[in-house]
Amino acid sequence: MLDVQHLKVAYGQSVVIEDMSFKVDQGEILGIIGRNGMGKTTLFRSLIGMIPSAGGKVELGEKEITHDASYKRVAKGLSFVPQGRMIFPYLTVYENLVSGSRNGSKEEDLLEVYSLFPVLQEMRNRKGGNLSGGQQQQLAIGRALMTKPSVLLLDEPTEGIQPSIIKDISRSLREIRKLKNLTIVVSEQVLSFMQDTCDRLMVIEKGSIVREDKTADVDAEAIRKMLAV
Ligand SMILES: Nc1ncnc2c1ncn2[C@@H]1O[C@H](COP(=O)(O)OP(=O)(O)O)[C@@H](O)[C@H]1O
Ligand SMILES: [Mg+2]
């Protein structure tokens, strides 16, 4: 569903991702785990088209998107939940959600998001900025779903969120995948959420994938050591 081939990403002369390749199947949840500064956000920003790629190729469901602007990638089925959530604090929950929708069938999409995250329906008239961190994260995911994506990218969705809500987020991601056969790529610095959520895990170090396992086969001790260095 998503095919990244020899991707290179740089900020000016500073190369962060040298040569990265991976594939994600339809309906698969892939985790990318790595410490601060290893290139997770850079990878996602490049995939959604916020940073131009300096080399390589990206295909979304067989269609090349390597040089597309962000809005075109979204129209082709890619959606992004950025690190830090980036909801609109002065807009209501409802307005935040609708800001994410493309033309047509808004109402139906909205009801689907409300059924996944009932708290958003309860709070639909509150300002986004008045929600808790966990509720804001649910809002950011809901907003991303309003574009009816086939591939959802989430950058460190559990950052600054309390453990009980982290469990909820994990559960809702798996539920969305089941409902929609959605493909999900999610990044994190901590292992436990990823073990609960993902089918497959890759470890990123200095812009390279250094390890890859099915979640069931993951050597948690070895990965924790890599993350602790
Ligand atoms: N806007 C930028 N300009 C130059 N270098 C950057 C920029 N953003 C991030 N970097 C560098 O790219 C590397 C990867 O950062 P980032 O992708 O944010 O990592 P992560 O998300 O894994 O914490 C780091 O060395 C960081 O300093
Ligand atoms: Mg980051």
Q: Which atom of ligand 1 is nearest to the CA of 45?
A: 17
**With 90 as the cut, is the pLDDT of residue 16 above it?**
yes
Is 0.85 surpassed by the pTM of this model? Answer: yes
Pick the more confident residue, 106 or 43: 43
The pLDDT of residue 184: 98
d(CA 58, CA 134): 32
Q: Which atom of ligand 1 is nearest to the CA of 83?
A: 21
**With 70 as the cut, is the pLDDT of residue 104 above it?**
no
pLDDT one-digit tens code per residue, 75-95 = 999 999 999 999 999 999 999
Q: Which of 7, 8, 9, 11 to mutate to test the pocket of ligand 1 (most atoms within 8 A of CB)?
A: 11
Query: Which two three-digit tokens encode residue 39?
Result: 């290139």
pLDDT one-digit tens code per residue, 108-165 = 889 999 999 999 999 999 999 999 999 999 999 999 999 999 999 999 999 989 888 8
Q: Determine whether the shortest distance from the Cβ of 40 to ligand 1 is under 6 A.
A: yes
Q: Determine whether the shortest distance from the Cβ of 13 to ligand 1 is under 6 A.
A: no
Q: Domains in the chain and their CATH numbers?
A: 2-85+150-228 (3.40.50.300)
pLDDT one-digit tens code per residue, 59-71 = 999 899 999 999 9
Strand partners, 79: 152
